[in-house]
Amino acid sequence: MILNDARSVPHLVVSSAATFALSLVDPRRLDREGLRAYRVANATLAGWMTWSILSTDTPDLSRGARVGATAGGAALGLLSARWSERVDGRLYDTLSRWGAPHPRVVIATAGTALGVLGWWRSRQDAAKEQDSVEDQELDV
């Protein structure tokens, strides 16, 4: 599936939209059920990203190993939720003190931009690697 290709444009669009949307949510304003749903959504995104990256970068990895790593990525997302939410709150408060008119939008934009940069860099590295393989094949 093309969405599981971490270097595809559709993957970039969907992962960026999910990152941006989740970053717009202020977890401090959520009730108990909302916070639970927010954490599950973040863990699900972490799991999907783990699966996609492993599927793209290490296609020879067994399905079982990929499932285990994906479960680990999702679990890490859940386990780090409180810490991540505290950092998010501090960042929001700092941006507010600095006079940012919409700190949540700044956080969402910055997080998404970093994701796009990582995606672009991954594509560049893959292209260089492919060029190197092709050059080696020509030498043979």
Tokens of 8: 């595809």
The whole-number pLDDT of residue 125 equals: 85
* Tens-place pLDDT, residues 48-75: 999 999 998 888 999 999 999 999 999 9
CA 123 centroid distance within chain: 15
Give the confidence band of 40 by pLDDT, cuts at 50, 70, 90.
Answer: very high
Ordered by start, the domain boundaries in the chain are: 2-139
Distance CA 29, CA 104 (A): 12
Give the confidence band of 126 by pLDDT, cuts at 50, 70, 90.
Answer: confident
